[in-house]
A = this chain, B = another copy of it.
Amino acid sequence: MSRVVVIGGDAAGATAASNLRRTLPEEHEVVVLERTDRTSYSACGIPYWIAGDVDSADDLVARTPEKHRENGIDLRTGVEVTAIDPEAGRLTLADGNPIDYDRLIIATGAEPLRPPLPGIDGRGILGVQSLADGQAVLDAMDQQPRHIVVVGSGYIGLEMAEACVARGFDTTVVEMADTPMPIVEPELGEQIADAMRARGIHLQASTPVTGFTLEDGQVTAVDIEGGSIPADLVILGLGVTARSALAADAGLPIGPKGSILVDQHQQVVGYDHIWAAGDCVASTDRITGDQVHLALGTHANKQGMVAADAIAADLLGVAPQVSFPGVVQTAITKFCSLEISRTGLGMQQAKDAGFDPVAASIVTTNIADYMPDAAEMTVLMIADRGTRRLLGAQIVGAEDAALRIDVAGTALAAGLTVDDVVMLDLAYAPPFGSVWSPVQVAARAVVKALDT
């Protein structure tokens, strides 16, 4: 018999453990060591819980520790691992006890970026990553803060800002870049800025935060160049970094944003008995081949599945059945009724990767323009001049706009050209769009730009 130990019981870890438990004969042990008292929850749902759309944290939990135990997993909560000894195949726990493993999966997740700014550790400066973080924000809101400042306007910043105004709080968003949501091009970011202002959010773009003013350890203002913004609650939406100190301390290979480097079977590069999955690992960008760090539940679930498959194959002496091909950096969010999505490379990313990118953007309607409630959407698309290969797409628009990004995401994975996209057989009926799908209208615009 063997013992597989999984560090972390959220998306990647719990998925891996569940799959292993289903696949491996009973004599193999599957142990999950989870720091907190929660497993398998939707961190992405936290802003909607804070906004009041979702009643309780429990609603965000897909599978409780009890449920995992019923399924035969030796799931231990409140257990923190403090060291990995890859030579010995042994973990040290916070209580000083060791636990041996035959195979290890590291699924320690990510944590909100906290740049080393003066005052960052003050009370009332909160990240949003775990359910405990979410509860801390709700508790802080119960104190009726007069001014909330969200630092950063990526999707977490945007979703949290919406939640704050939905709860009736005076809310300011501070963004270093010239437009919000810097993972879309500025011309689309302008539309997001308009929507934020229309919702009553104070947006301060082009504004780097220099520090935080504290009184008795409690934040009272966010400092910016030449001034400050009053704030009794600050929410950090600056993105995340891999929670990989444990792996780094053990000498495991580390890539961008602290992410652990793995192969396509999620095996840690250079380590025979250690796999890693989820928000703590690097993924291969399918377009550039580069290692990137993208902490998203979609990747975590797939990677957990792949790691479990690889370990089961290893223990049972068969060939693995699946591998993780990498990502194309698809992302989606919603700000009030404005939907936002992107996939692939942006213009700067494409240039940095050595492509000769050509972009075009178009405005069309989400449904046939003669139908009631037709509303506008903008699609921007990028292709490589030489190969005409699709490199990326971005959408901002009304209801039913953003999910269309999945056509581009699929096309990117398949390596299609923009000419191929123009000729796809996509669904059309008046309640769903116009005869040329918005993504194809954009592809035609790029083709035109390429041909002139």
- A residues apposed to B, CB below 8 Å: 11, 42, 44-45, 48, 53-54, 59-60, 155, 286, 296-299, 301-302, 321-322, 324-334, 341, 343, 368, 370-372, 400, 402-407, 409-416, 419-420, 422-433, 435-437, 451
Q: How far is the CA of A100 from the CA of B59 in the complex (A)?
A: 72
Minimum distance in angstroms from A385 CB to a CB of chain B: 16
Residues of B near A413 (CB, < 8 A) are 416, 420, 423-425
Q: By the criterion CB–CB under 8 Å, are B42 and A423 in contact? A: no
Q: By the criterion CB–CB under 8 Å, are A409 and B430 in contact? A: no
Q: How far is the CA of A8 from the CA of B334 in the complex (A)?
A: 44
10 pairs of residues in contact across A and B, judged by CB atoms under 8 Å: A42-B368, A42-B435, A45-B430, A297-B428, A301-B436, A302-B423, A330-B427, A331-B427, A343-B427, A407-B407
Given A370-B60, A371-B48: A406 and B423 within 8 A (CB)?
no
Residues of B near A427 (CB, < 8 A) are 330-332, 341, 343, 402-403, 405-406, 409
Contact of A371 among B53, B296, B423 (CB under 8 A): B53
Minimum distance in angstroms from A159 CB to a CB of chain B: 8
Q: By the criterion CB–CB under 8 Å, are A451 and B332 in contact? A: no
Q: By the criterion CB–CB under 8 Å, are A426 and B302 in contact? A: no
Residues of B near A372 (CB, < 8 A) are 53
Q: How far is the CA of A403 from the CA of B402 in the complex (A)?
A: 11
Minimum distance in angstroms from A119 CB to a CB of chain B: 31
- Nearest to A372 among chain B residues (CB) is B53
Residues of B near A430 (CB, < 8 A) are 42, 44-45, 48
Given A332-B429, A343-B425, A429-B334: A407 and B410 within 8 A (CB)?
yes
- Nearest to A411 among chain B residues (CB) is B410
Contact of A432 among B402, B410, B424 (CB under 8 A): B402
Q: How far is the CA of A122 from the CA of B372 in the complex (A)?
A: 35
Q: How far is the CA of A433 from the CA of B368 in the complex (A)?
A: 24
Q: How far is the CA of A302 from the CA of B424 in the complex (A)?
A: 10
Q: By the criterion CB–CB under 8 Å, are A428 and B42 in contact? A: no
Which interface residue of A45, A329, A423 has the most chain B CB atoms within 10 A?
A423
- Nearest to A332 among chain B residues (CB) is B427
Q: By the criterion CB–CB under 8 Å, are A327 and B425 in contact? A: yes
Q: How far is the CA of A299 from the CA of B422 in the complex (A)?
A: 11
Residues of B near A415 (CB, < 8 A) are 414
Contact of A414 among B327, B330, B411 (CB under 8 A): B411
Q: How far is the CA of A341 from the CA of B327 in the complex (A)?
A: 27
Q: By the criterion CB–CB under 8 Å, are A409 and B429 in contact? A: no
Q: By the criterion CB–CB under 8 Å, are B432 and A403 in contact? A: yes
Q: By the criterion CB–CB under 8 Å, are B53 and A432 in contact? A: no
Supplied contacts A45-B430, A321-B451, 5 more A-B pairs, CB within 8 Å: A42-B370, A44-B430, A330-B426, A403-B433, A409-B427
Minimum distance in angstroms from A28 CB to a CB of chain B: 20
- Nearest to A326 among chain B residues (CB) is B425
Q: How far is the CA of A297 from the CA of B400 in the complex (A)?
A: 21
Minimum distance in angstroms from A314 CB to a CB of chain B: 18
Residues of B near A411 (CB, < 8 A) are 410, 414
Q: By the criterion CB–CB under 8 Å, are B409 and A425 in contact? A: yes
Residues of B near A432 (CB, < 8 A) are 332, 334, 402-403
Which interface residue of A328, A426, A437 has the most chain B CB atoms within 10 A?
A426
Q: How far is the CA of A404 from the CA of B432 in the complex (A)?
A: 11
